[in-house]
Amino acid sequence: MVLQKNRIVVALGGNALQADPKDTRAESQLITAKETAKPIVDLIAEGHEVIIAHGNGPQVGQLIATYEAAAQSNENIPVMPFPECGAMSQGYIGYHLQQAIREEMFNRGLEKNIATIVTQVVVDKKDEGFQNPTKPVGSFFSEEEAKVLIKEKGYTMKEDAGRGWRRVVASPEPVDVVEAPIVKTLVEAGHVVITVGGGGVPVIDEGKGILKGVPAVIDKDFASEKIAEMLEADYLIILTAVEKVAIHFNTPQQQELSEITVTEAKQYIEEGHFAPGSMLPKVKAAMKFVESKAGRRSLITSLEKAKEGIEGKTGTIITQ
């Protein structure tokens, strides 16, 4: 079954920005982005309205580590606050995606504008994630250095698998997307939009128009689901390193799933088939979107198979 002219939110995985996890150079990211642009423009060329979201884990970590290293060598250099690093990463990743997608559209004769919106995502200050920060970010430190950061900066520091101590921050659930009305206006005007990069900059709404940035990491799949709901999207596509979701992953009993219902997905989660730091948030976000309104569908597949997945030829479709 071929589905035409849908409004689609595409959540890009880390492999869409860094082909080699060890190569964090900006130049390499731009090269990878040009390959990533091709399957995205495939969807645009089919007539779909496409909204793009992406992760930023390695990029924001690199920014933080750079500022931390500079501050250690020169006390006059301040460490950049975490929310600002998130906004910076949104900007430069968006810049690369804009360049790559614009060039690919031009090569195919598609006349569309593309823009990145530096996006703020509201979180609840009472979210349980703030009580137990778990997301490691930035550089490794010795135990002595970690104790100084705890005392002077108020950081939460944890030992990381024998490699040293790292700062950990909360990973709260998204509640609202501040710039969603702007994104919707641009999409309805026919433009391609990049938004909620890295899950968005986490902010707390303090009332009277005041938004306060907080050191936290919002899962990009959950942020993508939230903006997909708010934009009344038809499809949420979560792109990852594998073509299909599987149960009994990496065992002789591995079974790839072509189409599953929300009920079946919940059963697989209860049975522990999906890894917490990998496939689990993707499946949960896909389920949440499908449950949000009748007729909505989610697709989990690889970047290269996005167009075929929308055509129903591959990937894992989650339905009600």
The residue among 135 and 299 whose pLDDT is bigger is 299
Let me know: does 269 contact 261? Beta carbons within 8 Å.
no
From 6, 14, 164, 184, active-site residue: 14
Give residue 255's pLDDT.
96
Question: 113 an active-site residue?
Answer: no
What is the DSSP secondary structure assignment for residue 9, as one 8-state letter? Answer: E
Domains and CATH numbers, the chain: 7-119+174-318 (3.40.1160.10)
Helix (H) or strand (E) holding 191: none
Q: Which amino acid is at 101?
A: I
Let me know: does 93 contact 197? Beta carbons within 8 Å.
yes
* Dihedral, 85, 89, 90, 95 alpha carbons, nearest 10: 140
Arithmetic mean of pLDDT, 245-267: 95
Residues with Cβ within 8 Å of residue 132, at least 6 apart in sequence: 170
Q: Where are the alpha helices (DSSP H) in the chain?
A: 26-45, 57-73, 82-107, 143-153, 180-188, 220-230, 262-270, 279-292, 306-310
From 56, 61, 200, 282, active-site residue: 282
Tokens 């730091």, residue located: 277
Question: 138 an active-site residue?
Answer: no
218: helix, strand or coil = coil
From 135, 244, 288, 305, active-site residue: 135
- pTM value > 0.85: yes
Question: 15 an active-site residue?
Answer: yes
pLDDT band at 4 (very low <50, low <70, confident <90, very high): low
Phi, psi of 65 (to 5 degrees): -60, -35
Residue-wise pLDDT for 264-303, tens only, equals 999 999 999 998 878 999 999 999 999 999 999 999 999 9
From 56, 86, 138, 220, active-site residue: 220
Q: Which residues pair with 237 in a beta bridge?
A: 10, 299
Phi, psi of 137 (to 5 degrees): -140, 150
Average pLDDT over all residues of the chain: 93
Query: Smallest Cα–Cα separation from 299: which of 255, 240, 227, 249?
Result: 240
